[in-house]
Structure 1
């Protein structure tokens, strides 16, 4: 039964680049939600049409909207911004095309985000090949009740909020690889502390061939961190609170050190990707 007879609608933005193998799973996870007031904005960033792939899987839902970046490989920030332009609902969420929402995610987070501006949940990191769990953002009993900039900056697993559209900061298209980090810091700068649900409703899939599995993922991260530090020094990345800007700068320095350790472990063959490295390190 639907749990949102009078609740706000949410636009779920799905950036799709070479995602025909996973898009059905992502959209199916939305169809399983008991919060039915959603639309999925599928943004093609590879010049292909995702409608036939979904139709071949028996999915032809009127809540599906299709748009594109008008480019090939423009990047996730550009695709998400295009999705935000096409979105028609008061609430916004991001779903990566190779990830999935677990049942109950929208019905749990949308009311909280509508009231507080945004809401986060725990994140389950799963190996895509066999569905085995790698880790979660927060273990049993460790999740704080709220997330502010300081709490977020201490994390090392991507976080995917549900948020009101009027506080959505947009994605900086010149910030690649760690664009989600910048987005979330800017969001929390605008909202202040917001609720965190301890249940892992977002399933972050680690898939061979993805960016985090690539041999140059550490180098990509390092380039991103350097660029973010340059932007923080130049224009503050649009972050209004000087204390958050300062703490963000320190956090990036810590992330660079962790990334260097990951690079050494990856080259030595001790881990296959960054999340596996973190699991081995007990973080």
Structure 2
């Protein structure tokens, strides 16, 4: 049982799909954390490569790593939702199967969250190529982000987000194939919650050439759909925030 002096448990939410080239590094980046009270929930979306075998090897020797396989290929949103439902932590943190955390990420972010009992935080992150080569580009975290800000600037990297389950509940993502994370952040901020930025580079985002997120036109179309279909913004406001989104996106390239 957790005592007042016990650091809060962090549940790491990781969807897995055909990531055998990267999942080893991703798990190692969690094992290398200076903060040790975590569980890693890896939900396999019907991978057809050797990624699941790699995860199972870790599970056999590390009791903080859990592996679950979905019956059908359903997308990252469903995989994350299953992991969130299984999570036992006060905090949930997101880490995709090709991204990395720096060793002090959880330690610094938990302390940041505990200071004032924040509901939602995110950090800065770096960008690397598919082969792991660091690009030198850093996405900084503004001090605060609200709903209107996020509409115009998708600055929050999923791999950096930490949510307080005690304050927000077990949130769920819309079962769409892309931008489900962006839509979730909007739904939380729309309730009046503020996202607090910890402006340190504590994670590394891997740009995989054939990933869905690398298909910029498709992502842009999904953003427009989110503005119009999900957020139900008027046409002119949708145009305004979309132009801002596009400009800010160019600055992150």
TM-score by length of 1: 0.74
Q: Which moved more, 1:35-44 or 1:189-198?
A: 189-198
Distance, in Å, in 1 between the alignment partners of 2:30 and 2:126 is 17
**CA 57–41 in structure 1, closer or farther in 2 if over 3 Å, else same:** closer
Distance, in Å, in 2 between the alignment partners of 1:253 and 1:129 is 36
1:81 corresponding residue in structure 2: 81
Matched, 1:148 2:146: yes
1:11 corresponding residue in structure 2: 11
Distance, in Å, in 2 between the alignment partners of 1:24 and 1:251 is 40
- Count of aligned residue pairs for this structure pair: 243
Matched, 1:135 2:137: yes
Q: Which moved more, 1:188-197 or 1:164-173?
A: 188-197
1:38 corresponding residue in structure 2: 38
1:255 corresponding residue in structure 2: 242
2:194 corresponding residue in structure 1: 193
Higher relative contact order (CA 8 A, sep 6+): 2
1:118 corresponding residue in structure 2: 120
Distance, in Å, in 2 between the alignment partners of 1:21 and 1:61 is 20
Contact residue 177 and residue 224 of structure 1 kept, 8 A: no
Shift of 1:71: 1.0
SS in 2 for 1:96: coil
Contact residue 59 and residue 65 of structure 2 kept, 8 A: no
Contact residue 9 and residue 89 of structure 2 kept, 8 A: yes
Residue correspondence of structure 1 range 153-172 to structure 2 within 5 A: 153-160=151-158, 161-166=161-166, 167=168, 168-172=170-174
**CA 33–190 in structure 1, closer or farther in 2 if over 3 Å, else same:** farther
Distance, in Å, in 2 between the alignment partners of 1:220 and 1:189 is 21
Contact residue 13 and residue 42 of structure 2 kept, 8 A: yes
Distance, in Å, in 2 between the alignment partners of 1:219 and 1:134 is 26
Contact residue 132 and residue 206 of structure 2 kept, 8 A: no
Distance, in Å, in 2 between the alignment partners of 1:189 and 1:125 is 28
**CA 227–190 in structure 1, closer or farther in 2 if over 3 Å, else same:** closer
Shift of 1:157: 4.4
**CA 198–279 in structure 1, closer or farther in 2 if over 3 Å, else same:** closer
Shift of 1:256: 6.3
Contact residue 225 and residue 256 of structure 1 kept, 8 A: no
**CA 254–147 in structure 1, closer or farther in 2 if over 3 Å, else same:** closer
Distance, in Å, in 1 between the alignment partners of 2:245 and 2:194 is 26
Shift of 1:190: 3.7
Distance, in Å, in 2 between the alignment partners of 1:164 and 1:58 is 26
1:163-214 residue CA offsets vs partner (Å, 9 max, x unmatched)? 11231431011x3311111111122234622431111112111112212334
Distance, in Å, in 2 between the alignment partners of 1:97 and 1:32 is 16
Contact residue 78 and residue 171 of structure 1 kept, 8 A: yes
Distance, in Å, in 1 between the alignment partners of 2:129 and 2:238 is 27
SS in 2 for 1:199: strand
